[in-house]
A and B are shown apart, each in its own frame.
Chain A
Amino acid sequence: MSQVLLETLLATPFVSRIGVQLEQKGTELTGVLPFTDTLVGNPLIPALHGGAVGAFLEVVASASLLVSQPMARLPRPIDVAIDYLRPARAQDVYARAIVARSGRRVANVRVEAWQGRTEAPVATLHGHFLITPEGADSAS
């Protein structure tokens, strides 16, 4: 657990701007993206912007890595693949991550986001992140 970095992550200008919140129960982490008008991408549907949902998934991925083990730095994304399964409606979005593998340098994370029902996810992310576990040599 890297509680200080978790707070740093939430206080990061972009993350606090889109309003991501984290609900933590032990090591289980749920991300919440409270709905605001500025997250809308298509007002005619209305649907949230794919970029807003994608950014939210990236933040939850980073947060889950910080919860999984002590880190010396914030994780940095190497690549992400996002599947958009349903239009994200003008409502709050929730997300939970699974750290599939966490090595000394790279972690593999999967995140799923939903709105009304967890069985009906709106988007999933699968990505690799560069990590710096505490105590590991920080390669520059």
Chain B
Amino acid sequence: MDPEPPEDPEEFQKRLDALAPLIVDGAPYAVSLGFKIIEMTQRRAVMTTPYSEDLIGDPETGTLHGGVITALLDHCCGMAAFGGLGARHTPATLDLRIDYMRPAKPGCDITAEAHCLKSHGLVAFVRATAHDGDPEDPVAIAQAAFMISGASKAAHKRAMDAIRGGGE
């Protein structure tokens, strides 16, 4: 079992700053929706996605599809869990619950802010909100649990082996 992040906060933040963008830019789905990291600390992640006519879910009103918010909240929660779990393995979503408080305003970018409430061993609990300008008036709130799965550990090992050995 991985220990809690031991270290030296400076070293930890450095690793987070190096790895976090890879988990966004390396995910084709996140790239295709235009996700960007705004801020990333050990237990907190802030991400944004730009409004785009491509992502409309209700042609009558021009509001974004709920699925865009779902994806942003999932990814942002995952980033907070990644930090909370020590910033080594990318965790997988166990469950994600979202309340859609109101439709997002057409034309507005969406920002998600996630906090890792608790992490121990392989599991992390995260809470997040998504808003379209005013954090006090969220469009959606979410609660999620994440886990470092066998699949993600195996993938991490393959990637590290490939980097070290250039692949055998």
Contact = CB atoms under 8 A, between A and B. Distances in A.
Interface of A: 8, 11-15, 17-18, 37-45, 47-52, 54-56, 58-59, 74, 76-84, 87
Contact of B65 (A40, A44, A55): A55
B74 A45 contact: no
B15 interface: no
Contact of A54 (B54, B64, B67, B103): B67
A87 to B, nearest CB: 5
B78 interface: yes
Interface residues of B, number: 45
A49 B76 CA distance: 12
Contact of B67 (A18, A38, A76): A18
Contacts of A80: 66, 70, 97-98, 100
Interface in B22-73: 26-33, 53-59, 64-68, 70-73
B75 interface: yes
A47 B99 CA distance: 25
Contacts of A12: 56-59, 65
B123 interface: no
B67 A39 contact: no
Given A8-B59, A12-B59, A17-B55, A49 B27 contact: yes
B158 interface: yes
Contact of A50 (B31, B59, B74, B97): B74
B100 A14 contact: no
Contact of B96 (A17, A42, A76, A82): A82
B90 interface: yes
A58 B67 contact: yes
A120 B72 CA distance: 26
B69 to A, nearest CB: 9
A41 B12 CA distance: 24
B68 A55 contact: yes
B55 A79 contact: no
A84 B55 CA distance: 24
A109 B167 CA distance: 47
B66 A40 contact: no
B117 interface: no
Contacts of B95: 81-84
- Of the candidates B26, B67, B97, B156, the one having the most CB atoms from chain A within 10 angstroms of its own CB is B67
B13 interface: no
Contacts of A40: 27-29
Given A8-B59, A12-B59, A51-B75, A41 B30 contact: yes
Contacts of B57: 12-15
A44 B92 contact: no
B27 to A, nearest CB: 5
Contacts of B30: 41, 49, 51
